[in-house]
Amino acid sequence: MAEAERVERLLEAAEALPDARARATALAAVQGVVELYGTALARIVERVGPGTARSLADDELVGHLLLVHDLHPLAVEQRVRDALDGVRPYLGSHGGDVELVAVEGDVARVRLQGSCDGCPASAATLKLAIEQAVLAAAPELERVEAQAPPAGSGLLQIECAPALAAAQREGG
């Protein structure tokens, strides 16, 4: 999101101002604008209702603003579940699946299943597919961690496909 990155750079520049008074004034002005827009956005969300608010939250920029102002219509757990649903077809095409274990603090804990569990490529799968989807849907989270299946869970342990394991060892 280019707009958010630009704002971050400007805030960093304001925080780095050598004059303490200028720095405090600049940051107070930004905080005032954020609070003003947050109040206005809360009024908009209240007036459009939950269905429209959810539809608006699907837009990346609007969803980000709703998160910043703690107005997002979906709880973090639901957004994570929706993100995992989005990557399931990809995981399924490789014989795997993922389960949300819990969202605790700033961490989403997931369990890889099927051929994803124990596969040397599962770390890359977690990083590339699952983590990106989860953190895009719930940017307030810091990380995604994979947990091992519980002992005696009855989950079928499938070895990673030999061709995929060989490609992973060769760096491809």
**Residues above pLDDT 70, as percent of the chain:** 77
Q: Is residue 125 located within the same domain as residue 155?
A: yes
Query: What is the mean predicted confidence (pLDDT) over 91-103?
Result: 86
Mean pLDDT of the residues in the chain: 82
What is residue 146's predicted lDDT score, i.e. its pLDDT?
83
Q: Is residue 105 located within the same domain as residue 124?
A: yes
Q: Is residue 161 located within the same domain as residue 94?
A: yes
Q: Is residue 106 located within the same domain as residue 55?
A: no
Tell whether pTM > 0.85: no
Q: Is residue 64 located within the same domain as residue 83?
A: no
| 149 φ, ψ (degrees, to nearest 5) | -65, 150
Task: Name residue 149's beta-bridge partners.
Answer: none
Q: Is residue 85 located within the same domain as residue 26?
A: no
Q: Compare 77 and 3 and report the one with higher pLDDT.
A: 77
What is residue 169's predicted lDDT score, i.e. its pLDDT?
47
Query: What is the mean predicted confidence (pLDDT) over 93-116?
Result: 86
Does residue 97 carry a pLDDT above 50? yes
Q: Is residue 80 located within the same domain as residue 114?
A: yes
Q: Is residue 81 located within the same domain as residue 46?
A: no
Reading the block at residue 15, the tokens are 């925080």
Q: Is residue 97 located within the same domain as residue 42?
A: no
Q: Is residue 16 located within the same domain as residue 57?
A: yes
Query: What is the mean predicted confidence (pLDDT) over 139-162?
Result: 64
Query: What is the mean predicted confidence (pLDDT) over 132-151?
Result: 84
Domain boundaries, position 52: 2-68
CA 111 centroid distance within chain: 16
Q: Is residue 53 located within the same domain as residue 98?
A: no
In whole angstroms, what is the distance from residue 101 CA to residue 136 CA? 18
| 139 φ, ψ (degrees, to nearest 5) | -65, -10
Query: What is the mean predicted confidence (pLDDT) over 38-59?
Result: 91
Q: Is residue 80 located within the same domain as residue 132?
A: yes
Report which of 45, 55, 53, 60 is spatially closest to residue 3, judged by C-alpha positions. Answer: 60
